[in-house]
């Protein structure tokens, strides 16, 4: 479907939906409704993915196990809780291009980020800086600043921020490499988003990892906006770690458990300092309750406590849908759907808005960020009142994401109609 020559009329959207091999997945999700009972135009999967209809069955199964088995549910029943998180290992690994030993589903993104930095941010007098995006997601900024201070350094001298050139919204790939080349010897950790939350820019993670490792830096990625959105080959690219959340493109539900990748080369790095908890202990001997901590090999060795089964159940439901749809097909539709939205918006040029997301499909995922200076917020509120669900990021960014798993070409068409009318 990639590269279809787009056409402006509604017939085109209808025809594209009719021949979309993924179109039927839409019926597997609940769409919120307007007050008048119409389906919303939901373009907010970059913030909270929709609820898969099979989520309640997965959840009910675990509630039933709890009711019927009580504590025995840990070791008995069809899906014993002791190993429940492992049901997600294979699909999660496939999703991020990793081996099962390299991934684990646990905690929230920010907690995982701290756990990773506890092991991988080891600043010295010569090499103490953390490189992040200028205007990185606030939680990352707070986490990074607190880690810098925790190690006795100060953000003004230890925080290095990557900014776009004056007058530009996105960072140029070559500027990232130049910065790493110039400052690399003092950088302890490069921590960038896979996809920037505000602009929707996808970074060249392979190039960044190569450049960073060449200079001896640890490389980590925040994949909150990348997981389930763009193709990832973490094992091959070789960053040291990555973290993500599961409530956006992965549809795991509000506050769902996040994910964590630790490259295989660290799987048995027992000398790395880490914050320990009993769920990371070798599972054969965990219940001997001994005093010595013997972590499992791989990402599971960074777990802390036992996982929240009731939060994992909807994620398992969603991952099964993901596996059925297949990442390659999803990406192909995503490139087409986002390109279509960009095309339609381009048919309505106006000085009142501009798209700040990169134009090249390889430098973005599903999200388009529309800059609406001045009265943009009012326009956003008007659209929201008419059943368009996107989100607003201060001071002037309207983010929308046509998600290939459940959005249609007609959603995109209707959105652009309403957007133009509201302008």
Ligand X SMILES: Cc1ncc(COP(=O)(O)O)c(C=O)c1O
147 binds ligand X per the rule CB under 6 A: no
Choose between 222 and 300: whose C-beta lies nearer to ligand X. 222
Choose between 58 and 137: whose C-beta lies nearer to ligand X. 137
56 binds ligand X per the rule CB under 6 A: no
CB 370 within 8 A of CB 345: yes
Choose between 184 and 239: whose C-beta lies nearer to ligand X. 239
Report the nearest approach of ligand X to the CB of residue 255 (Å). 7
Report the nearest approach of ligand X to the CB of residue 164 (Å). 17
Report the nearest approach of ligand X to the CB of residue 289 (Å). 31
> Which of the ranges 37-45, 105-113, 155-163, 397-405 carries the binding residues for ligand X, by CB under 6 A?
105-113
Of 20, 102, 133, 140, the residue at the interface with ligand X (CB under 6 A) is 140
Crossing angle of helices 376-385/409-422, nearest 10°?
A: 130
How far is C-alpha 349 from the geometric centre of its chain's CA atoms? 31
Per CB under 6 A, contacts with ligand X among 120-139 are 137, 139
> Which of the ranges 107-115, 122-130, 203-211, 306-314 carries the binding residues for ligand X, by CB under 6 A?
107-115
Report the nearest approach of ligand X to the CB of residue 141 (Å). 10
Per CB under 6 A, contacts with ligand X among 250-289 are 258
x/- contact string, 173-212, with ligand X (CB under 6 A)? Answer: --------------------x---x---------------
x/- contact string, 302-341, with ligand X (CB under 6 A)? Answer: ----------------------------------------
Choose between 104 and 416: whose C-beta lies nearer to ligand X. 104
- Binding residues with ligand X: total (CB under 6 A): 13
Choose between 59 and 115: whose C-beta lies nearer to ligand X. 115
The residue sitting closest to ligand X, measured at its beta carbon, is 110
108 binds ligand X per the rule CB under 6 A: yes
- Paired strand residues for 364: 201
SS3 of the chain: CCCCCCCCCHHHHHHHHHCCCCHHHHHHECCCECCCCCECEECECCCCCCCECCHHHHHHHHHHHHHHHHHHHHCCCCCCHHHHHHHHHHHHHHHHCCCHHHEEECCCHHHHHHHHHHHHCCCCCCCCEEEEECCCCHHHHHHHHHHHHHCCCCHHHHEEEECCCCCCCCCCHHHHHHHHHHHHHHEEEEEEECECCCCCEECCHHHHHHHHHHCCCEEEEECCCCCCCCCCCHHHHCCCEEEECCCCCCCCCCCCCCEEEECHHHCCCCCCCCCCCHHHECCCCHHHCCCCCCECCCHHHHCCCCCCHHHHHHHHHHHHHHHHHCHHHHHHHHHHHHHHHHHHHHCCCCCCCEECCCCCHHHECCCEEEECCCCHHHHHHHHHHCCEECEEECCCEEEEECCCCCCCHHHHHHHHHHHHHHC
Choose between 225 and 281: whose C-beta lies nearer to ligand X. 225
Report the nearest approach of ligand X to the CB of residue 194 (Å). 9
Choose between 118 and 269: whose C-beta lies nearer to ligand X. 118
Choose between 258 and 402: whose C-beta lies nearer to ligand X. 258
Report the nearest approach of ligand X to the CB of residue 224 (Å). 4
Tokens of 95: 């999703």
Phi, psi of 229 (to 5 degrees): -115, -50
Residue 226: half-sphere exposure toward Cβ, Cα within 13 Å: 27
Measured between alpha carbons, how far is 17 from 235 in angstroms, rounded to an integer? 35
Report the nearest approach of ligand X to the CB of residue 109 (Å). 4
Tokens of 298: 């791989």
How far is C-alpha 134 from the geometric centre of its chain's CA atoms? 18
x/- contact string, 213-242, with ligand X (CB under 6 A)? Answer: ---------x-xx-----------------
Choose between 259 and 402: whose C-beta lies nearer to ligand X. 259
Report the nearest approach of ligand X to the CB of residue 233 (Å). 20
Choose between 259 and 387: whose C-beta lies nearer to ligand X. 259
Of 117, 187, 245, 321, the residue at the interface with ligand X (CB under 6 A) is 245
**Chain contacts with ligand X (rule: CB under 6 A):** 108-110, 137, 139-140, 193, 197, 222, 224-225, 245, 258
């Amino acid at each position: 479907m990639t590269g279809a020559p787009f056409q402006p009329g509604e017939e085109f959207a209808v025809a594209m939906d009719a021949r979309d091999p993924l179109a039927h997945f839409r019926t597997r999700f609940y769409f919120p409704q307007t007050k008048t009972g119409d389906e919303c135009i939901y373009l907010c999967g970059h913030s909270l993915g929709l609820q898969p209809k099979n989520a309640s069955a997965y959840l009910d199964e675990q509630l039933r196990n709890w009711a019927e088995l009580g504590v025995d549910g840990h070791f008995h029943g069809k899906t014993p809780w002791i190993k429940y998180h492992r049901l997600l290992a294979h699909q999660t690994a496939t999703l991020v291009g990793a081996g099962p030993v390299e991934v684990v589903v646990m905690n929230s993104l920010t907690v995982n980020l701290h756990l990773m930095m506890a092991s991988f941010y080891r600043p010295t007098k010569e090499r103490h800086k953390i490189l992040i995006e200028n205007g990185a997601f606030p939680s990352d900024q707070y986490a990074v600043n607190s880690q810098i201070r925790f190690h006795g350094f100060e953000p003004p001298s230890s925080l290095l921020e990557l900014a776009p050139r004056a007058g530009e919204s996105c960072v140029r790939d070559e500027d990232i490499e130049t910065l790493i080349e110039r400052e690399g010897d003092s950088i302890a950790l490069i921590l960038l988003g896979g996809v920037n939350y505000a602009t929707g820019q996808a970074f060249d993670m392979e190039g960044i990892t190569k450049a960073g490792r060449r200079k001896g830096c640890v490389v980590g990625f925040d994949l909150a906006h990348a997981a389930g959105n763009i193709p990832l080959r973490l094992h091959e690219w070789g960053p040291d770690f990555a973290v993500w959340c599961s409530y956006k493109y992965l549809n795991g539900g509000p506050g769902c458990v996040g994910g964590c990748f630790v490259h295989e080369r660290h799987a048995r790095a027992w000398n790395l300092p880490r914050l320990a908890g009993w769920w990371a202990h070798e599972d054969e001997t965990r219940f001997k309750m001994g005093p010595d901590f013997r972590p499992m090999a791989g990402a599971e060795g960074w777990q802390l406590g036992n996982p929240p089964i009731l939060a994992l159940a909807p994620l398992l439901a969603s991952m099964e849908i993901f596996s059925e749809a297949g990442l390659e097909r999803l990406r192909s539709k995503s490139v087409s759907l986002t390109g279509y939205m960009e095309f339609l918006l381009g048919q309505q040029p106006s000085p009142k808005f501009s798209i700040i997301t990169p134009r090249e499909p390889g430098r973005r995922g599903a999200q388009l960020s529309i800059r609406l200076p001045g009265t943009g917020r009012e326009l956003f509120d008007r659209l929201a009142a008419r059943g368009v669900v996107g989100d607003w990021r201060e001071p002037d960014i309207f983010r929308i994401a046509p998600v290939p798993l459940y959005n249609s070409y007609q959603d995109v068409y209707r959105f652009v109609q309403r957007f133009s009318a509201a302008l």
